[in-house]
Structures are given as structure tokens and as C-alpha cells.
Amino acid sequence: MEYFTQQLINGVTLGAIYGLIAIGYTMVYGIIGMINFAHGEIFMIGSFVSLIAFLLLGILGVTWLPLALLIVMILAMMFTAVYGWSLERIAYRPLRGSPRLAALISAIGMSIFLQNFVQLEQGAKVKPLPPVVTGGFDLLGEGGFVVKLSYMQILIVIVTTVLLIAFSFVISHTTMGRAQRACQQDMKMAALVGINVDRTISMTFVLGASLAAVAGMMFMLYYGVIDFFIGFLAGIKAFTAAVLGGIGSLPGAVLGGMLIGLIEVFWSAYFTIEYKDVAAFSILVLVLIFRPSGLLGKPEIEKV
């Protein structure tokens, strides 16, 4: 039971990171109906910006942890917001009226470009960071097995929960959210009633990139090592989480992330680790067979 509890804690933590990335996927798809396959690289850039910011703060002598975390998070969100805005302007806006396949290929091209750009700028070696948030709770179980709940794991879950609530409120109760929901239903009618569609879509990319930056910072703090390739695998899994939970639904994105994280961790703990990704994608296939819209998604109704 203690071993199960430990893996449950690890799975929820990993799932919370996937959920943060998945929200960016689901926000973009919900408005323009396209998948931003470069979103994983935005997450990766957020990790690198966070690492560089922590090193600079250490040089400047900023040692109070809450202040350092806040500064790093703001810097990471600002830098990745610029990348998200640029991505929309370069890879999506010129192709908005084109077939979806063209935008998909453009996004994959931007993903490869950003991977190689970071590799050239930062090198191909993994970048380590000493533990920043340390400590936690030790729960002694039967047989001497110690269940560990670290402060970092608690922080990740709390940040994910707070951001999910905040962004759900933004979409449901603010002018920006109403504009996003209007564009999701009909861009042409939204433009006719005075909504700036281009600005709304750009802000959606900016918000999604900011969330990816927070996820990148949490990933870097939790695992302590990053490289230029982490965005590809994390992006694919977060996209899987968004589809599993019901793409277009913010709670569904986080739920899907939690499920993917739990499946990976429990499969690695009780079976062979080499097939943990196979298990996650198999669950996705089964869910989509019986519920094509995902767990919390709504079926699309097309008017003809």
C-alpha cells in the first residue's frame, strides 16, 4: 500500500505538468481548430529560460526562494509569450485560410526549427541544476518503506490547480474569454460584431505559451536536468492528454494529463518501463473508440 501511495504521488505530479502543457494545446484548438505542434518546444524554451534566470539570480545574490521563484516565473512567461506570439504570426496567421494540412506542416517545421535553434545556442548536452526547492514530508509505513511527499511536488500540484481555476475564470467571466468563445463558434460573425479576431488569436497563443513556460520551470525544478529534446516527448504526451480529456476543455486537459502521468508511473512501477508509452497510447485508443470526443469533450455539431 505504501509503494502504491508513493507511485500515486509521483503520477499526480507528472500529470500536473502534462496538464499545464495540454491546456495550451486545447486553447489553440478550441479557437482556430488547429494543433500547435510547436507547443512542446515552447515548453522546452521555458525550461531553458528558467535555468538561465536562476543562474543569473544566483550571480546577483538573490537568495530568498519565494522572490527568486516569482522572478524566474515572470521572466520565463515573458520570453515564451514572445515566442508564442511570433509563432502565431509566422506559422499560423498567413495560413489561416489555407487547408489545415498546410498549417500542420508549418507547425512541425517551426518545431524542428526551435529544437535546432536551442541546440545551437545552448549545446546538445543536458543542463543540470542543483535542487532549489528541497525538503518535504516522510511518512513511514509498514516494513520500513518511507513514502516521500516533497515540497516541490506539493508546489507543482498547487500551481496547476490555481492556474486551471484562473484560466477557467478568464474564459468564462472576462471580455477576453467572451471574445475567445465567440471566435471559437464563428470567426466571421465575431469580426462582424466588432471583435478583433487577430488579436484574440494572438493572445490565445500568448496565454498558452505562458502556461507552457510555467510547466517548463516546474519540470526543470522537479527533475533537475533539461536538454533541447525534452519538448518533443512532453509535447506529444501533453497533446495525447488534451485529446484524452477532450480537446477544447480546460478541465479535460488537466484530467487527461493526470491520467497519462498515472498510467506512465504505475506501468513503470509494476511492469516493464520500456512499454510505458505504449500503455498510455493504448488507453488513448480505447477511450477514443468508445468516446471519440474524449472524457470531458463535447461532440462537434456541424451545420450543413
Contact 39, 212 (CB under 8 A): yes
Confidence of residue 2 (pLDDT cuts 50, 70, 90): confident
* 279-287 mean pLDDT: 84
What confidence tens digit (pLDDT) does each residue in 60-75 have?
988 899 999 999 999 9
Residue 141 has what pLDDT?
Answer: 65
Displacement of CA 53 from its chain's centroid (Å): 20
Of 8 and 140, the one with more pLDDT = 8
Residue 33 has what pLDDT?
Answer: 73
Of 287 and 75, the one with more pLDDT = 75
Residue 144 has what pLDDT?
Answer: 67
Residue 77 has what pLDDT?
Answer: 94
Residue 143 has what pLDDT?
Answer: 65
Residue of 46, 151, 39, 21 lying closest to 104 (CA atoms):
39
Cβ contacts of residue 6 below 8 Å, gap of 6+?
Answer: 145, 147, 148
Residue 142 has what pLDDT?
Answer: 65
CATH class given for the domain over 2-290 = mainly alpha
Name residue 121's amino acid.
E
Residue 151 has what pLDDT?
Answer: 93
Residue 283 has what pLDDT?
Answer: 84
What confidence tens digit (pLDDT) does each residue in 200-210 have?
999 999 999 99
Which residues face 225 on adjacent strands? 128
Confidence of residue 47 (pLDDT cuts 50, 70, 90): very high
Each domain of the chain, given as residue ranges in start order, spans: 2-290
Contact 238, 145 (CB under 8 A): no
Q: Does residue 297 have a pLDDT over 80?
A: no
Q: Does residue 186 have a pLDDT over 60?
A: yes
Per-chain mean pLDDT for the chain: 88
- Which residue in the block uniquely carries the three cell numbers 502565431? 88
Residue of 280, 275, 279, 265 lying closest to 6 (CA atoms):
265
Displacement of CA 281 from its chain's centroid (Å): 18
What confidence tens digit (pLDDT) does each residue in 234-263 have?
888 898 898 888 887 888 899 999 999 999
For residue 274, the 8-state DSSP code is G
Q: Does residue 303 have a pLDDT over 60?
A: no
d(CA 201, CA 24): 12
Q: Does residue 46 have a pLDDT over 80?
A: yes
- Say how many residues make up the chain: 304
